[in-house]
């Protein structure tokens, strides 16, 4: 279990972290979300001691993180970095050795992960000769090669095509299933909704929402999607009491119901406006959770 406890860090007038606290449980893919500049990278770097905190601490299994424990973490920094002129497999092997993998296993492990991530045929190439996508895969292999207990990946999906996102997603799920901690960050909130079980959403260095994806997308006021044939504006819904219109997309009206509003009353109002084509409850998108949390 990785705990971020009241992290604070200022860079001159800029507040990067403002008392940020949350916990990453093992065995889950944990999404660390927020807009660009929210403080995600600073918090992740703090877990590796790469950032001097003004106050607060990052703890692993309830205690301060030691250098030996840190070696069993895997890290993929936001600004990717491998030696440009070094052969890919040599480089992954070298990083495995630095993480304490014995010499006899390091090269095998390096090849295993390059194969698993689909870049084995480029193993003998120099990093600079690889496409950006393949460099990203090699970087991911570097963070996984020592079978880390905790994986911390900063924006692992940025720059990937849908196939790449699926590949990374399946690796993350597999690591979590094996009981390891998996923390990854993203600024594309809705893109990662299906990938993670739990999230921490931050803004301006503070936690604005957190918990299991199931809970935070279904909690709060209920939401309906209603489409009435021939209606493109959703004007009918604006006169229904106890209901607010959140969005209208191609005639599908997304409604937020006040506490105590009866969905059947909304359905009746829709039917008076015309033939109802679609009627159903809807979960909130993570981006909506974020927007609502920030607006409060």
Task: Point out which residues bind other proteins (CB under 8 A).
Answer: 45, 48, 50, 67, 70-71, 73, 75, 77, 79-87, 89-90, 94-95, 97-99, 103-104, 107-108, 110-111, 124, 142-143
Distance CA 11, CA 30 (A): 27
Pick the closer one to other proteins by CB: 150 or 224: 150
Identity of the residue, 79 or 259, whose beta carbon is nearer to other proteins in the bound complex:
79
Compute the least distance from the CB of residue 14 to other proteins, in Å: 13
As separate numbers, helices (DSSP H) first and strands (DSSP E) second, the chain gives 10, 14
Q: What is the largest CA-CA distance in the chain?
A: 75
Q: Which is nearer to other proteins, 86 or 248 (CB)?
A: 86
User: Based on CB atoms, which residue is closest to other proteins, 80 or 223?
Assistant: 80
State the nearest-atom distance from the C-beta of 129 to other proteins, in Å: 14
What token pair was written down for 238? 């604006």
3-state SS class at 97: helix
CA dihedral 73, 78, 82, 84 (to 10 degrees): 180
> CB-wise, 40 or 284, nearer to other proteins?
40
Q: What angle do CA 123, 129, 134 make, to 5 degrees?
A: 60
DSSP reduced 3-state for 10: strand
> Is 124 or 131 the residue whose CB approaches other proteins more closely?
124
CB of 184 to other proteins, least distance (A): 15
| Shortest distance in whole angstroms from residue 139 CB to other proteins | 8
Report strand pairing: 73-76 vs 150-153: parallel
Bridge partner list, 247:
254
Q: Give, in order, the Cα–Cα distances in Å from 74 to each of 90, 139, 212, 277.
A: 18, 11, 23, 49
The minimum distance between CB 116 and other proteins, in angstroms, equals 15
Rounded CA gap, 18 and 185, in Å? Answer: 18
Nearer to other proteins, 184 or 290 (CB): 184
Separation between Cα atoms, residue 195 and residue 149, nearest integer Å: 19
Mention every residue, 6+ apart, whose C-beta is less than 8 A from residue 132: 159
Q: What is the closest distance, in whole angstroms, from the C-beta atom of residue 96 to other proteins in the complex?
A: 10
CB of 208 to other proteins, least distance (A): 27
CA distance 135 to 112: 16
């Amino acid at each position: 279990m990785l705990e971020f406890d009241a992290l604070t860090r200022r860079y001159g007038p800029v507040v990067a972290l403002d008392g940020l606290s949350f916990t990453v449980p093992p065995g889950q893919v944990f999404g660390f979300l927020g807009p660009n500049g929210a403080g995600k990278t600073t918090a992740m770097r703090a877990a590796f001691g790469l950032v001097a905190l003004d106050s607060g601490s990052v703890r692993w299994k309830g205690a301060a993180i030691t250098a030996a424990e840190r070696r069993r973490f895997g890290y993929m920094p936001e600004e990717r970095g491998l030696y440009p002129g070094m052969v890919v497999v040599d480089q992954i092997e070298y990083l495995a050795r630095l993480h304490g993998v014995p010499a006899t296993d390091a090269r095998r492990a390096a090849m295993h992960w390059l194969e698993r991530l689909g870049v084995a045929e480029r193993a003998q190439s120099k990093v600079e000769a690889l496409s950006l996508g393949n460099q990203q895969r090699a970087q991911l292999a570097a963070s996984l090669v020592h079978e880390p207990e905790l994986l911390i990946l900063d924006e692992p999906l940025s720059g990937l095509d849908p196939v790449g996102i699926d590949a990374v997603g399946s690796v993350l799920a597999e690591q979590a299933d094996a009981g390891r901690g998996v923390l990854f960050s993203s600024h594309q909130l809705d893109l990662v909704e299906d990938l993670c079980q739990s999230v921490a959403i931050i803004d301006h260095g503070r936690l604005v929402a957190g918990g299991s994806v199931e809970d935070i997308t279904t909690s709060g006021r209920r939401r309906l999607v209603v489409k009435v044939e021939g209606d493109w504006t959703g004007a009918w819904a604006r006169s229904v009491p106890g209901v607010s219109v959140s969005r209208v997309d191609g005639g599908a009206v997304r409604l937020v119901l006040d506490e105590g509003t009866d969905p059947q009353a909304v359905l009746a109002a829709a039917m008076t406006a015309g033939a109802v084509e679609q009627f159903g409850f809807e979960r909130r998108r993570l981006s909506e959770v974020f927007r609502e949390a920030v607006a409060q």
